Copies of this chain bind each other. A is one copy, B any other.
Amino acid sequence: MSGILAVGSMAFDTIETPFGIQEKVLGGSVNHFSLSASYFSRVNCISVVGEDFPKEHLTLLNHRGIDTRGVKIDKGNTFHWSGKYGYELHEAQTLATHLNVFEHFSPEVPESYRNSDFVFLGNIIPSLQEKVLSQVHHPKFVAIDTMNFWIGTQRESLIKVISKCHCLIINEGELRQLTNSFNILTAAKLVRSWGPKLLVIKRGEYGAVLFNDGDIFSVPGLPLAEVKDPTGAGDTFAGGFMGYIASQPNFNLSRFTLRKAIVYGSVMASFIVQDFGFRNLLPLTKKMIDEQYQRFVELTAFNLV
């Protein structure tokens, strides 16, 4: 297995929630995705950072087995996102998006990554997602995430790259925005008609839904005593989901591999939201992850005697 090739942002996030403000926390879609997926699989990152980005963070990623040779260090500042959450801690309101070094970034996939079986196109400008995908030879499984900002400003190029993927991973509200449909069955049909066989809908504390052609799977969220910051929860979810699929000894997208992958995604997301930034992803162990998986089993089982 060649591991997962992941493109997305490495960023500074300034996050305001009713529980506090955190300035310039290390974040970005590929950062959260990689840290989460690294518990399951090898990950190779494609991104760009500015000279202000702490080198030690790349070292930290390397220590988790994440290959950062595809992370370019450019003149200028690192991508900076600012957002705000209300008490319901649902979708963020974007306050500012400073693309900075991403403005003129043209990703080059290193030769050694071009045979990747698994590709994750993390939330970033759709044209960059497509540029990365076009450089991979014969990927077996490509998943893509996005956000309201790109749906609003780059709809056509976004749908074009979605149509080349096997799986769309998206927030429920953003799915509605993308498909102009309130009903998720109708929305799922439209996405299927564009190309992706799989649709994963992220519902925050209400869990996730998987549309797998005709088959539908839904898992609720794990009730948590404390939720401090949902930033990166979606990418962390995607990391667990895709990491689990990539960890299978024989590549398969069977009904139960995919369902378990959704639960592993939910497990990883349930860890990260309990603190600001990615802190809660660092001290995890396989045992903690499996125990949390077991909590999902306990939470949802009913059809036993």
Closest Cβ neighbor of A87 among chain B residues: B182
Whether A256 and B185, one on each chain, are in contact in the complex, defined by CB atoms closer than 8 angstroms, is no
Q: How far is the CA of A219 from the CA of B206 in the complex (A)?
A: 10
Choose among B186, B216, B217, B300 the residue that contacts A217 (Cβ–Cβ < 8 A): B300
Whether B185 and A209, one on each chain, are in contact in the complex, defined by CB atoms closer than 8 angstroms, is no
Q: How far is the CA of A184 from the CA of B224 in the complex (A)?
A: 8
Whether A302 and B207, one on each chain, are in contact in the complex, defined by CB atoms closer than 8 angstroms, is no
A221 CB contacts on chain B under 8 angstroms: 218
Number of copies of this protein chain within its complex: 2
Whether A259 and B301, one on each chain, are in contact in the complex, defined by CB atoms closer than 8 angstroms, is yes
Q: How far is the CA of A262 from the CA of B301 in the complex (A)?
A: 12
Q: How far is the CA of A303 from the CA of B303 in the complex (A)?
A: 11
Whether A220 and B220, one on each chain, are in contact in the complex, defined by CB atoms closer than 8 angstroms, is yes
Closest Cβ neighbor of A188 among chain B residues: B223
Most chain B beta-carbon contacts within 10 A, residue among A184, A203, A217: A217
A253: CB under 8 A from chain B? no
Q: How far is the CA of A146 from the CA of B218 in the complex (A)?
A: 28
Most chain B beta-carbon contacts within 10 A, residue among A185, A206, A227: A206
A209 CB contacts on chain B under 8 angstroms: 220, 223
Whether B305 and A184, one on each chain, are in contact in the complex, defined by CB atoms closer than 8 angstroms, is no
A260: CB under 8 A from chain B? yes
Q: How far is the CA of A215 from the CA of B218 in the complex (A)?
A: 20
Q: How far is the CA of A220 from the CA of B203 in the complex (A)?
A: 11
Whether A303 and B297, one on each chain, are in contact in the complex, defined by CB atoms closer than 8 angstroms, is yes
A223 CB contacts on chain B under 8 angstroms: 184-185, 209, 216, 218
Q: How far is the CB of A172 from chain B (nearest CB, A)?
A: 10
Whether B220 and A304, one on each chain, are in contact in the complex, defined by CB atoms closer than 8 angstroms, is no
Contact A224/B256 with A218-B299, A218-B300, A299-B218 known, Cβ cut-off 8 Å:
no
A186 CB contacts on chain B under 8 angstroms: 225
Whether A259 and B217, one on each chain, are in contact in the complex, defined by CB atoms closer than 8 angstroms, is no
Choose among B182, B184, B216, B259 the residue that contacts A302 (Cβ–Cβ < 8 A): B259
A-B contact pairs, 12 of them (CB 8 A): A87-B182, A216-B298, A216-B299, A217-B302, A218-B299, A218-B300, A219-B302, A220-B220, A259-B302, A260-B303, A263-B302, A300-B300
Interface residues of A (CB under 8 A from B): 87-88, 182-186, 203, 206-207, 209, 215-221, 223-227, 256, 259-260, 262-263, 297-305
9 closest pairs, A vs B, by CB? A218-B220, A259-B302, A206-B206, A297-B303, A220-B220, A185-B225, A218-B299, A185-B223, A263-B302
